[in-house]
């Protein structure tokens, strides 16, 4: 590649991602003088993101060109790499609506961003916006530009965008594979860098088909942890899945609980207690960061004046219903404004490998073209990908254990219907997606599902294309 590399962040106001991704990018000598274009529709958050970028560059002693614009096409012009971290409709009103309306019908959620009724609605809001962005990319980005998507619902978005455009590939990126490997290494008392694994499936429902340490299978030790009652209290759902299905899933227990019909049931508080499932976890997490934002903004304006311990104390005193690690993450964000450590995110690694030619293996979400035999061809799958100067190259996995593929197909059905609702402009497929969603169908009857969908479509009217209006 010749000349300065331009990298555009769409949704740069998502400060956690912006901090992590730019910290990674700036840490590579080959990218230290790149051009960073920040874009967000929220001008205030955009200015904060610009301050974060400048702070990171100063901390690392590098000199990238940093620009910020609310004009998306201007930000995308001549970009070689585009990273998306948007949330259409934001926490308020959209995500609050995704939780509160289903709750009226007796349908509870934990995260609501991947599958379930919350994932369906988020997909309907997000895919049209990203399709328009993809058209802008085709018009103004550099030849050979690639879109690296961090936005959920990952599988639906990856499927819809790659189906719509052959000129600009979208690779969906998540951190659940590498995060879970680190968590399991901690459970076993083994350095994470010594773990060797292979993983495949669909986003947020991939499974480790191999998990080893120096050639020794670690699954017997993980099963023994479960049998001895030593699995972490916050991770009971996934250890139960290991027990039932023989393999460990990649996404967190609070996520996984709402992709299946077995854990969150009306009137079954015993299940919530047994498996330690935190209902409304994502809204609580958003409330935590709402409390943290004043600290973060003051620290950006006056470096060294804010205390992470004071923030932690305030968050604990607020008594917001969240998992303890959510409070820790907010404090770490504040501390991370003054130090840079490379994250486990794949975005910076992919850009560095494509620019430098250094080969790496990452886990990416791509379309299933002869990659996994017993998942539908053309759906979005998460597989190992080789990355080098030739780009992101998915590797063939073959056939997954039959019970894992069968479970994944229950989620793929919902994803396919949401994509069809958008690409075919068929509102009726929204109802079909909700009817076939495993968690929704386990709690509500058909008339309740239709009434709930009607109310949600009406509430989200401002964020939806006209053909989906109730």
With tokens 């409330």, the residue in question is 287
Q: Is residue 11 within 8 Å of residue 84, measured between CB atoms?
A: yes
- Residue 441: CA count within 13 A, CB half-sphere: 15
Distance separating alpha carbons of residues 21 and 53, to the nearest angstrom:
10
Distance separating alpha carbons of residues 203 and 364, to the nearest angstrom:
9
Q: Both tokens of residue 427?
A: 């509102």
Residue 164 phi, psi (nearest 5): -85, -25
250: helix, strand or coil = coil
Distance separating alpha carbons of residues 72 and 11, to the nearest angstrom:
10
The conformation of residue 401, written as its DSSP 8-state character, comes to P
CA 318 to chain centre: 27
Choosing from 39, 44, 147, 175, which is the catalytic residue? 175
175 is catalytic: yes
Distance separating alpha carbons of residues 391 and 357, to the nearest angstrom:
9
- Residue 294: CA count within 13 A, CB half-sphere: 6
With tokens 């409070």, the residue in question is 327
Q: How many Cβ atoms from other residues are within 10 Å of residue 33's Cβ?
A: 13
In 165-280, alpha helices (H): 176-188, 219-227, 236-245, 253-256, 269-274
Q: Cis peptide leading into 153, omega within 30 of 0?
A: yes
Distance separating alpha carbons of residues 246 and 114, to the nearest angstrom:
24
Directed axis angle between helix 43-60 and helix 15-26, to 10°? Answer: 30
The set of residues, in sequence order, having a beta carbon less than 8 Å from that of 132 and lying 6+ positions away, is none
Catalytic residues: 175
């Amino acid at each position: 590649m010749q000349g300065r590399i331009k990298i555009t962040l769409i949704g740069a106001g998502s400060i956690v991602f912006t901090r992590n991704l730019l910290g990674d990018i700036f840490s590579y000598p080959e990218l230290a003088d790149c051009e960073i274009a920040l874009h967000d529709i929220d001008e205030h958050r955009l200015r904060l993101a610009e301050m974060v970028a400048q702070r990171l560059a100063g901390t690392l002693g590098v000199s990238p060109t940093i620009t910020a614009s609310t004009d998306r096409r201007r930000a995308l012009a001549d970009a070689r790499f585009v990273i998306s971290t948007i949330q259409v409709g934001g926490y308020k009103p959209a995500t609050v609506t995704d939780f509160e309306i289903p709750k009226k019908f007796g349908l509870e959620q934990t995260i609501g961003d991947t599958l379930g009724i919350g994932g369906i609605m988020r997909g309907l809001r997000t895919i049209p916006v990203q399709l328009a962005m993809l058209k802008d990319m085709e018009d103004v980005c550099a030849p050979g530009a690639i879109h690296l998507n961090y936005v959920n619902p990952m599988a639906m978005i990856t499927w819809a965008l790659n189906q719509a455009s052959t000129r600009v590939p979208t690779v969906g990126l998540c951190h659940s594979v590498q995060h879970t490997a680190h968590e399991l290494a901690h459970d076993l008392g083994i350095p994470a860098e010594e773990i060797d694994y292979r993983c495949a499936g669909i986003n947020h429902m991939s499974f480790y088909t191999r998990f080893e340490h120096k050639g020794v299978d670690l699954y017997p030790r993980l099963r023994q942890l479960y049998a001895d009652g030593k699995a972490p209290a916050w991770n009971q759902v996934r250890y139960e899945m290991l027990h039932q299905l023989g393999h460990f899933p990649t996404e967190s227990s609070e996520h996984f609980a709402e992709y299946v019909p077995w854990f969150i049931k009306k009137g079954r508080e015993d299940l919530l207690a047994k498996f330690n499932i935190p209902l409304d976890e994502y809204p609580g997490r958003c409330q935590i960061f709402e409390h943290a934002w004043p600290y973060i903004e003051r620290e950006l304006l006056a470096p060294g004046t804010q205390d992470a311990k004071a923030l932690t104390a305030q968050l604990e005193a607020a008594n917001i219903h969240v998992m303890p690690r959510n409070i820790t993450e907010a404090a770490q964000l504040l501390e991370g404004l003054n130090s840079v450590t490379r994250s486990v995110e794949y975005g910076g690694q992919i850009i560095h490998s494509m620019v430098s030619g250094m080969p790496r293996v990452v886990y990416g979400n791509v379309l299933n073209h002869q990659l996994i035999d017993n998942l539908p061809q053309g759906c979005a799958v998460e597989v190992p990908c080789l990355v080098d100067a030739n780009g992101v190259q998915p590797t063939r996995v073959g056939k997954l254990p039959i019970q894992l593929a069968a479970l994944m197909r229950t989620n793929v059905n919902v994803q396919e219907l949401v994509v069809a609702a958008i690409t075919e402009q068929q509102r009726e497929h929204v109802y079909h997606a909700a009817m076939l969603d495993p968690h929704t169908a386990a709690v509500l009857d058909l008339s309740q599902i239709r009434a709930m969908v009607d109310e949600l479509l009406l509430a989200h009217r401002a964020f939806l294309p006209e053909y989906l209006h109730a």
